[in-house]
A and B are shown apart, each in its own frame.
Chain A
Amino acid sequence: MKQKVYIYRSFERFWHWMQALSIFFLAATGFEIHGSFTFFGYQNAVKYHNIAAYTFIVLIVFAIFWHFTTGEWRQYLPTTKHLKAQINFYLIGIFQNAPHPTKKTVLSKLNPLQKLTYLALKILVIPTMVISGLLYMFYRYPQKGMIEGLNIGTIEVIALFHTAAAFLLVAFIIVHLYLMTTGSTITSNLKAMITGYEELEDAHGNHESENLKNDKKEVEA
């Protein structure tokens, strides 16, 4: 039985859309700084990129706080359970109108593939972006009177990490925007992320998220 469930809380939605906005804006200004195209004008692009970067970092700090205080961080604990089923669903089942192999519930919003992807994003791609970005910002050319051991000889390595991670983020967005349409209806996921409500089957159901139970076990172990 389907029922309307409040699945994404207001901060979560705010964070999600601010993050989306930040990433789009950072990508637009960032690739201009990279020399891929001209739109804002180089000096403006740099200025806007830096302001957006600080905004993004503030948002990340709030988001980390929120994840830990609410315990929502557990949503991203990786699991191999149903992973194969999920892959099979995207490769085959989805074309045969097969049901999603994992049930979306308040306590387990993410399927195993999402868990893996978002975790990689959170602990690999975004930290790479932030750390290389901060180094990029605070990089000072080696100069006299500074401790030589602390010198970074060139900005090249920093820039290359930053660029590579940026490409990955943009690729993620392309796929993410598409997979958004693979919910129970084409727009159900989008609507949920805007309003917070989604029609879920058995959202607080008796078998209340087997995944989560497993996760808990894993954590305890």
Chain B
Amino acid sequence: MKKIVIPLVLIGLVIISAISFLTSKGTEQTKLMVLKEQFDKKAVQHVDHTQFTELKKKFTSPRQVTEACIACHNGRAQEIMQSNHWNWEKAEYVKDRGIVYLGKKNAINNFCIGTEGNEMSCAKCHVGYGMSSSKDFNYQDESNIDCLVCHDNSETYAKAQEKGGAPDPSVDLANVAQHVGKPKRSNCGVCHFFGGGGNNVKHGDLEKSMFEPTKTVDVHMGTDGMNLQCVDCHKTENHMISGKMYSLSSMNRNRTLCEDCHTESPHDDAILNKHTLKVACQTCHIPTYAKVNATKLAWDWSTAGKLKDGKPYEIDDAAGNHTYLSIKGNFTWGKNLKPDYVWFNGTAGHYLLGDKVADTTKPLVLNPLYGSYNDVDSKIIPVKIHRARQPFDPVNKIIIQPKLYAEKVGEGALWKDFNWETASEVGMKDVNLPFSGKVSFLKTEMYWPVNHMVSKKENTVKCNECHTRNNSRLAGLNDFYMPARDYSPFIETAGKLVLLLSFLLVLIHGGFRFFSSRKMKKRG
């Protein structure tokens, strides 16, 4: 008999080990190695621009630099003139709205609200010169293009504050022109890290620590690691940059995805690979954002305009973040944040300038991200939610585009005159929208997908941070069943009851047996 038992046990063991070995197929190592090898070769500068006589001269205006660029790089200006960085709008299909031109010109956000009327200040982040107003700007004039803001490799180029996109007068244009090349993190970051009027105000995952991050902050861009540049992932051809932000985009196209490099099944573990159908890579691989500096979580415009001795003032927290500014109101900041999570299929809606708000009882989501469990295109993604109270015309039911910036006092700008009514009146007139004269404040939300600050493998979100009864990261997504988090209250109660009854039955029956046998023994 033992002769049979031992072989059977052995067979069992062989089967168990065979299964466990065969289920782990080591594909990721090789894929990662290929990627590492590929990105280890850093781009070589093919041309030395310091050698060109065209650039060895005194430039008196940035437009002369642009003309010098175009003289050799012909055709490139046309590419720029078709780009979003230039036009500040693009044709997008938006659900329930059709095809619209969507961009900074007409979308409302809940930070500085909108660019219209404030271009002199906002155009610091336009790839052009001389935008005093988005309507008057000449989008056909090639010499208005600012090549340098993206292509400066000397790290000395900077745009001036509130000059419609013009460079700072101190910039040595010839030096910059002679040191141009592929855009680096610094070129992109100078705008994308400071959107909303300060470091890390908008994104939460894009901020100044990303100029020179460590691998702990971002595993791809870490200077102690692969040191990737923005354009390594945001692949660009003919000045069309891949990737998008859903604060200003609506369609599921031209996205930059982790899967572009890593494929949809990058894990050793088959069960982890199964997750990629419904869970975006970022959801597990970005456990926290705003890792180094705080990001703005809430903005209350309603308190703006308070003055001390007739002068605007600011209050900062211990870390130096503004918690109150007379020109902007109160702010809440947060650091090392767990993202919120939503279903997202790559399409989004938008509140556009002039839209009437039907329901003012609950916060208005300015850029609802669409998606659900049952939608095959949807995945769970991490987002930062930015909440605000922003000026609203309660009679016309329109979000107000106020005049914020002006050079002088008396032009109606909030940041100079500190009067909501006049700022709203001037601002709304500027965009040809009615204004009732009344200003109230509407609660709004914006959803900012978190895509950067990817953590090291060791720091990814653990299974039981989502798969758990209490405080699941996905506690807010209730349109599907998730093991460990979810259960049927009926089966749970009935099951426990059955177990309890079985125990009781055993105890009672056993007890009776024990006592009756003792009685019987006594009786003998």
Residues of A within 8 A of B (CB): 9-11, 13-14, 18, 33-35, 38, 41-43, 46-47, 50-51, 54-55, 58-59, 62, 90, 94-97, 140-144, 153-156, 159-160, 163-164, 166-168, 170-171, 174-175, 178, 181-182, 196
Contact = CB atoms under 8 A, between A and B. Distances in A.
Interface string B57-75: 0000000000000000000
B374 A153 contact: yes
A55 B12 contact: yes
30 contacts: A10-B4, A11-B4, A11-B8, A14-B4, A14-B5, A14-B8, A35-B468, A41-B464, A50-B23, A50-B271, A54-B15, A54-B16, A59-B12, A90-B509, A95-B513, A96-B516, A140-B277, A141-B278, A142-B376, A143-B277, A144-B376, A153-B374, A154-B373, A159-B483, A163-B491, A167-B498, A168-B498, A171-B498, A178-B506, A178-B509
A47 B23 CA distance: 10
Nearest to A38: B464
B506 A175 contact: yes
Given A34-B484, A142-B376, A42 B464 contact: yes
Interface in B470-524: 480-481, 483-488, 491-492, 494-496, 498-499, 501-503, 505-506, 509-510, 512-513, 516-517, 520
B361 interface: no
Contacts of B462: 42-43
Contact of B487 (A35, A58, A196): A35
Nearest to A172: B502
B463 A167 contact: no
Interface in B246-285: 269, 271, 274, 277-278
Given A18-B12, A144-B376, 7 more contacts: A11-B8, A34-B487, A42-B464, A140-B277, A141-B277, A166-B495, A178-B509
B44 interface: no
B358 interface: no
Nearest to A44: B463
A143 B376 contact: yes
Contact of A33 (B4, B484, B488): B484
A144 B481 CA distance: 21
A95 B519 CA distance: 10
**By CB atoms of chain A within 10 A, which of B1, B274, B374 has the most?**
B1
**By CB atoms of chain A within 10 A, which of B9, B16, B480, B484 has the most?**
B484
Contacts of B520: 96-97
A41 B484 CA distance: 12
Contact of A35 (B467, B505, B510): B467
Interface of B: 1-2, 4-5, 8-9, 12, 15-16, 19-20, 23, 269, 271, 274, 277-278, 373-374, 376-377, 462-464, 467-469, 480-481, 483-488, 491-492, 494-496, 498-499, 501-503, 505-506, 509-510, 512-513, 516-517, 520
Nearest to B465: A42
A140 B274 CA distance: 7
Contacts of A33: 467, 483-484
Nearest to B377: A144
A10 B501 CA distance: 34
Contacts of A97: 516-517, 520
Nearest to B516: A95
Nearest to B515: A95
Nearest to A35: B484
A10 B481 CA distance: 43
A156 B499 CA distance: 22
Contacts of A41: 463-464
A171 B277 contact: no
Contacts of A159: 481, 483, 486
Nearest to B8: A14
Contact of A174 (B5, B19, B488, B502): B502
A196 B467 contact: no
B9 A55 contact: no
A163 B467 CA distance: 16
Given A10-B1, A141-B278, A178-B506, A95 B512 contact: yes
B502 A163 contact: no
Nearest to B492: A163
**By CB atoms of chain B within 10 A, which of A13, A35, A54, A181 has the most?**
A35
Closest 4 CB pairs of A and B: A167-B495, A35-B484, A156-B481, A10-B1
A62 B12 CA distance: 11
B4 A171 contact: no
Nearest to B520: A97
Contacts of A196: 1
Contacts of B516: 95-97
A122 to B, nearest CB: 19
Contacts of B277: 140-141, 143
Contacts of B274: 140-141
Contact of B469 (A18, A35, A46, A155): A35
B484 A42 contact: yes
Contacts of A153: 374
Contact of A178 (B269, B376, B485, B510): B510
A181 to B, nearest CB: 8
Given A35-B467, A35-B487, A143-B277, A175 B505 contact: yes
Contacts of B2: 10
A43 B505 CA distance: 36
B346 to A, nearest CB: 13
Nearest to A175: B502
B19 A51 contact: yes
B252 to A, nearest CB: 13
Contacts of B486: 156, 159
Contact of A14 (B9, B501, B502, B505): B9
A18 B512 CA distance: 32
A160 B491 contact: yes
Given A11-B4, A143-B277, A174 B499 contact: yes
